[in-house]
Amino acid sequence: MSSVPERSEVDEEYTWDLESIYATDDDWEAAYEAVAERVDELAAYEGQVTDDAATLLDVFALRDAIMREVSTVAAYARMRRDEDTTDQQYQALTARAQSLAADAQSAASFIEPELQELSREEFDELVDTEPELETYEHYVDDVLRMKPHTRSAEVEELLADLSEVTGATGEVYNMLSNADMEFPTVEDPNGEAVEITQSNFVNLLKRPDRDFRQRVYEHYYDEWSSLRNTVASAYKNSVKADVKTAQARHYDTAREAALDGPNVPVDVYDTLVDTVHDNLDKLHHHTELKAQALEVDDLQMWDVYMPLTGDEGPDVEYGQATEYVVDSLAPLGEEYQSRVADGLESNWVDVYENEGKQSGAYSGGTYDTQPFILMNYQDDISSMYTLAHELGHSMHSELTKDEQPFVYSSYEIFVAEVASTVNEALLTSHLLETVDDPEFRKHVLNEFLERVRSTLYRQTLFAEFEHEAHRLEEDGEPLTADRLDEVYRGLKEEYYEPAVIDDRIAREWMRIPHFYRAFYVYQYATGISAALAIVDDVLPEGAGGEPNREAAEDYLEFLRRGSREYPLELLRIAGVDMSTSDPIDRALESYGERLEEMDALMQ
């Protein structure tokens, strides 16, 4: 029987080094207690934030010091929990850290309302008195921009206190999907029992035996269906919390509130959706090619993840993947490349799946720690691309920390997904240029097509779904499980027109954890669009030509800027204007060209 190992069975060489943060849990406790005591120090400044320049600088310094410590305490607890989500001890530590973070946010909640009593001219006068305040100019500009949507200090404190409650549905969903749900085993063509997990589900849908894929698909979604009303209730209340919070801050819609935080115009969202809809014919062509590759009349939903190459693809062991990824980053310069290589040798990555481990992948860490990457590596091309993706996030954080103070270290997701996807695109170019094996090259080409399908098209479909779900709530329509199924099914039918849309796929929305962080997913689609435009500039002649060093340096400068400017301004540093459809059109044009290339190979 194929089984997932216990945590203790995984070689330390392939685990992250959380002891570099706190050597023991006792050290974590000491750090927790120390920063918990400091939180109360903020209260002494309430009502005095803008009394004079020196006081304002002291407030900023104290708040930043506390938030730095809180973020590290919280990150350690969460990553320990994610090693095994069934571990009660680390569930408890995570809950305590989340409460501490909420307390710290609540304690600091008076700062921004008091700042908003200043005019920009008055702040400039304070800077003249205390030049160190100049560091905070962009931050203050952002705070003043949000004045129409910031409530009194009393209300802000209440909203901060409630943040733990309003975000509870996401935590409930996470525990349900990762710790409590148990998926059945299915028998593979060799008679071996294979355990379905959140991490391996998609990979199992890439197995060549169609009957096996169907069994995996049906058993997986049937397990979700058994919890259909529970998950619908969780999502409904998550949407309701988004809407009520937006209303409390005087926004017309939850979407407007979510996009106003990073100062991204709603038009950017709509332009993405409109441009993708104008290019659905390319996705339909991709779907038709899948049916052709599989030699089936009707493409079923358990066929969608199958590669156009018609099989599972070559094995890519982790060591080989790290070599390919590091080599692919040469166009960004020796310093960037060597830093990634050193990180891979320094236990940045928790590589393999283990029993109870958080599914998926992410890049973590804080301003005061090394990067940490959670993976569930599956020895395939897709996992190699995920590694490249997460290293992009980690290097974005590292370069930001090199150049920016803490206040600008937490960059917006809108730009974060650019850094990760640039690495993916560089990996594609490198592999197509340097790997001679024609079958491997076909799989790389397929991976590119799948990345665009799943990142640009699929995430835009998700964006449409959550926009409609929030609109229904705002219009007073009940968000029942049936209604959510209906909305999702309609979108799936439009996007995957040539395929068969069944009742199970109408419930796919249930398995998407990102929906509990509203209006997040569209940024994957804008991110890949911007990234492909940047790589086109860095590699004007493809991987075989000389990199454009000026374009590469512009991109690195974009990474170093953190959040010191607004997202659209930052991307203009890298040569991309996301206020237009141009980057999206370029990405979809590239997708169309690669589809035609694959079509010709298949003939």
Q: Could you give the residue numbers annotated as active site?
A: 390
Q: Measure the CA–CA gap between 390 and 420, rounded to whole angstroms.
A: 6
Partner residues linked to 193 by β-bridges: 187
Q: Measure the CA–CA gap between 152 and 123, rounded to whole angstroms.
A: 20
Residues 6+ apart with CB under 8 A from 321: 377, 383, 384, 387
Q: Measure the CA–CA gap between 98 and 104, rounded to whole angstroms.
A: 10
Copy the structure tokens of residue 589. Answer: 């044009």
- Per the CB < 8 A criterion, the answer to whether 145 and 263 are in contact is yes
Say how many C-beta atoms besides its own lie within 10 A of residue 302's C-beta: 25
Tokens 């802000």, residue located: 156
Q: Measure the CA–CA gap between 464 and 441, rounded to whole angstroms.
A: 34
Copy the structure tokens of residue 296. Answer: 């089936």
478 burial level (CB within 10 Å; 0-12, 13-18, 19+): exposed
Q: Measure the CA–CA gap between 530 and 571, rounded to whole angstroms.
A: 8
- Per the CB < 8 A criterion, the answer to whether 355 and 84 are in contact is yes
From residue 399, alpha-carbon distances to 319, 369, 528, 557 in Å are 25, 13, 20, 9
From residue 39, alpha-carbon distances to 35, 78, 167, 439, 552 in Å are 6, 20, 22, 58, 42
- E strand segments, 346-480: 349-352, 362-364, 372-377
Instruction: Report phi then psi at 223, rounded to 5.
Output: -65, -45
| β-strands 349-352, 372-377 pairing | parallel
